[in-house]
Structure 1
Amino acid sequence: MRGEGLAVWLLALGQTLTYAALYYSFAALLPDLETATGWSKAQLAAGPTFAFLITAVLTPFTGRLVDHGRGGEMLVGLPLIGAAGLVALAFAPGPGGWFWLWGLIGLAQAGSLYETCFAFLTRRLGEGARAAITRVTLVAGLASTLAFPLGDLFGRVFGGRGALIAFALIVVAGAVPANLWGVRILRRMERAGGARPAPEPGALQAALRHPAFWLVAAIFGAIWLNHAILITYALTLFADRGAAPGLAVLAASCIGPSQVAGRLLLMLNETRVGNRAATLLSLGAIGVASGLLWLAGFAPLLIFGFALTQGAGAGLLSILRPVLLAQTLGRRGFGAISGAVAVAPILATAAGPSVGAALLETGGPGAVYACCLGLAALGLGLGWVLVRRPLG
């Protein structure tokens, strides 16, 4: 068990650094990138949108690769491609090059983030995967807390373009070695103690006929669009609410610890709070967060209330999605099923930067607050429908 525990913590570290560099660095560096390039928010946001579209297309394929035993190779190799993409972005000559180079980041994200990690653990640890996933998310929930202060530091020291290279070095020097070590430990244990489950044909087709599959996809699509918009433009929105730059960075950095706190509360109360109640509580927290951000125009310190509730809600949901899928649809073909259901939230994440930019340019921050509150309400309504169905 000690070897398994070490492997899980190493993968948790790898996820933390990979998320900080490939997922959160754009939001953390957005003001510095605008200054360094002179491009508009919409031009800059087009790159991450393209990356997540690539991720959405490739994630079902990478899920099948996990089922065929290639999850470890992706967790080690694809972050290197992502790091190369960050370095290339630092030298992008114009918005066109910037856009296409984000495709490398999309390729890396398709096989190096939570979906691949969770499917890799689920197939190897079986019933023990829930505890392992929780441990991974407890650590990786700090990725935004790491990314925003580092982005502020790197941006001031190296400028927006140089900061991208600094984030790439974090991946190469930290995430890749941690993933490699963790994967090797689990595979040594696998060879010593048991066989990896074989791929299960037909599992995905059966899942696609299950209404719960589509409900989970729709819920997470709505909530992740809300989350992507708010996280990408957190610093801009906090400034609109009257927060000073330092206060805005501090509030944005609280989202990660709030994710961890929410997960800890769930773990400590898992015998008293079932998956259904936890789902509704987390979806409700997202709605409360959007409301608090809107009200922060009257009291700017409410941005911290937003950070706490948004982080806690999103943190719980990131644990609940694989748990709900496994409980509702079983573990047969889990990699392929998880990859397929992830298309909706990945597409939503892809759309987030561009949708947010369009809302800011056409309706201002008020349009962002209204849209995100509506998305939260939609997610809560669909969640109510889901929990009224039998989960297994």
Structure 2
Amino acid sequence: MTAVGNDGSLAKAETAERAPIAAVAALGITQIIGYGTLYYSFSILAGDMAKDMGWPTEWIFGALSAALLAGGLTAPLLGGWIDRFGAGRIMTAGSAVAAAALAACAYAPNGPAFVGALIALEAASNLVQYGAAFALLVQIRPRAAQRSITYLTLVAGFASTVFWPITSAMHAHLPWRDVYLVFAGLNLLVCLPLHAWLSQGLARSRRAAIEPPRHVAGSLPAPARPLGFALMVVAFSLQNLVSAAVLVHMVPLLSGLGLGAAAAIVGTLFGPSQVLSRFINMVYGINLPPLRLAIISAVLMTAGVAILLGTAPSIAGAMAFAIVFGMGNGLFSIVTGALPLMLFGSEGYGRLQGRAMSARLIVSAVAPFALALAMAHIGISWSLGLMALVGCLALLVLAAIAKVSSAT
């Protein structure tokens, strides 16, 4: 086996080998559909779901939190499957499971059946969204994976831009159950064939290879990896806590700080800011070491929260918050794929991603409730201050990773 070494050699290898553009384009389509149908559509349809089930709307979001928690617990197992069977095969099966889970939600006769289908939906999400897609890019061409991940996140960043209006337009004419059935068809008829094509292409390339694949070797030596992995998971979890909590409550936060009707307008800046930061990184920072990119991401997210806290109820300040925080969150998506590759290498990447993703998903399930509880008991300003503190802690942990890396 031939290995590519640390940060510097990885950057040179990335430059020498082209990203698999056809695979990135195909995954870009499936990620837009995957995130659009399995994630972004939920908030638009939740009110109709609640009426249909006879539940308060918060119960529907509580069911989503329970499903996210269950999905987080299954992530390590699914990550092992990705390494064992190949990401292409797992994503192909995941598209079928996602379609079946969407249909099960649509046909759920009662609340318990709906919650069970929702849990299946979140488990399927782990099979078809970023974690699996990043692993597929690593398996296709390890030395170009960092560049490929950047390209993919740029394309997939349009998922909310595409599916929020599509879901709203469909829901104006169809009940939520029919919308979910249409989305099941998209996963079955578009995503599944594309994932199957990627899987077959990967299998053919491996059979035709004359030399064994050149893997990327992680920058951390074996003795430092347990500590490095623990620090990385803590840093990712802290950043994910800030991201998930703030994004779910963005409009209520802005409204509670006195922005009124402008809150919804300010919130629309977030999505384009994510795409902008990924585009800037693609053009100017494609070979930037992932750890440095992680620190930049954490600085931007923390600074965004601090700007909002320090300028409210200024509309200009809120706009700056949405832009800065959105740019940091956009880079965070790249970091979650690129940093594990840099630190631990390409072998066993799927299993490693599954373990790291498990912690992030569990935090994502708890974070919105935790921030809601904090806002109710200590107020919005103190809650934002707490989020800024969490962001600072993430920066300290990332600095500790840098210290561990330099010491080895």
Residue 14 of structure 1 pairs with residue 49 of structure 2: no
Residues 302 and 388 in structure 2, CA contact (< 8 A), matched pair in contact too: yes
Q: Which amino acid aligns with 1:344?
A: A
Which residue matches 1:142?
Answer: 158
Q: Identify which of 155, 166, 174 aligns with 2:190.
A: 174
Which residue matches 1:228?
Answer: 244
Residues 103 and 184 in structure 2, CA contact (< 8 A), matched pair in contact too: yes
In structure 2, distance between residues paired with 1:64 and 1:195? 25
Q: Identify which of 126, 132, 155 aligns with 2:142.
A: 126
Distance 1:26 1:294, change over 3 A: farther
- The CA deviation string for residues 37-60 of structure 1, in whole angstroms up to 9 with x for no partner, is 553354122222222222222222
Residues 17 and 143 in structure 1, CA contact (< 8 A), matched pair in contact too: yes
Distance 1:147 1:8, change over 3 A: same
In structure 1, distance between residues paired with 2:224 and 2:44? 37
Distance 1:310 1:14, change over 3 A: same
Which residue matches 2:234?
Answer: 218
Residue 44 of structure 1 pairs with residue 75 of structure 2: no
Note the C-alpha offset of 1:127: 0.5
Superposition pairs of residues 181-200 of structure 1, within 5 angstroms: 181-193=197-209
Note the C-alpha offset of 1:242: 5.3
Note the C-alpha offset of 1:2: 9.7
Which residue matches 1:280?
Answer: 295
Q: Identify which of 328, 331, 334 aligns with 1:313.
A: 328
Distance 1:171 1:291, change over 3 A: farther
Residue 347 of structure 1 pairs with residue 359 of structure 2: no
The SS at the match of 1:290 is helix
In structure 1, distance between residues paired with 2:107 and 2:383? 31
In structure 1, distance between residues paired with 2:213 and 2:84? 9
Residues 220 and 345 in structure 1, CA contact (< 8 A), matched pair in contact too: yes
Note the C-alpha offset of 1:155: 3.8
Residue 63 of structure 1 pairs with residue 79 of structure 2: yes
Instruction: Please list every run of 5 or more consecutive structure 1 residues that lacks an aligned counterpart in the other structure.
Output: 200-205
Q: Which amino acid aligns with 2:292?
A: A
Q: Which amino acid aligns with 1:234?
A: M
The SS at the match of 2:172 is helix
Note the C-alpha offset of 1:339: 1.7
- The CA deviation string for residues 98-122 of structure 1, in whole angstroms up to 9 with x for no partner, is 3332211122022211111111221
Q: Which amino acid aligns with 2:349?
A: F
Q: Identify which of 32, 41, 44 aligns with 1:25.
A: 41
Which residue matches 2:350?
Answer: 335
Cα-Cα RMSD: 3.4
Distance 1:355 1:315, change over 3 A: same
In structure 2, distance between residues paired with 1:126 and 1:273? 17
In structure 2, distance between residues paired with 1:259 and 1:133? 15
- Larger of the two Rg values belongs to structure: 2
Distance 1:300 1:92, change over 3 A: farther
Q: Answer with 379-388 or 187-196: which moved more.
A: 187-196
Note the C-alpha offset of 1:234: 3.1
State TM-score, norm by structure 2.
Answer: 0.81
Instruction: Please list every run of 5 or more consecutive structure 2 residues that lacks an aligned counterpart in the other structure.
Output: 1-16, 216-221
- The CA deviation string for residues 343-365 of structure 1, in whole angstroms up to 9 with x for no partner, is 22121112234334444555565
Superposition pairs of residues 252-291 of structure 1, within 5 angstroms: 252-270=267-285, 273-291=288-306
Q: Which amino acid aligns with 1:122?
A: V
Which residue matches 2:169?
Answer: 153
Distance 1:168 1:248, change over 3 A: farther
In structure 2, distance between residues paired with 1:158 and 1:175? 23
Which residue matches 1:203?
Answer: none
Residues 82 and 135 in structure 2, CA contact (< 8 A), matched pair in contact too: yes
Distance 1:258 1:3, change over 3 A: closer
In structure 2, distance between residues paired with 1:147 and 1:25? 7
In structure 1, distance between residues paired with 2:105 and 2:338? 36
Distance 1:129 1:273, change over 3 A: closer
The SS at the match of 1:388 is helix
Distance 1:380 1:104, change over 3 A: same
Which residue matches 2:12?
Answer: none
- The CA deviation string for residues 313-347 of structure 1, in whole angstroms up to 9 with x for no partner, is 12212212332222222223222222222222121
The SS at the match of 1:298 is coil
Which residue matches 1:202?
Answer: none
Residue 87 of structure 1 pairs with residue 103 of structure 2: yes
Could you tell me the percent identity over the aligned residues?
Answer: 24
In structure 1, distance between residues paired with 2:304 and 2:138? 31
Note the C-alpha offset of 1:290: 2.0
Distance 1:307 1:47, change over 3 A: same
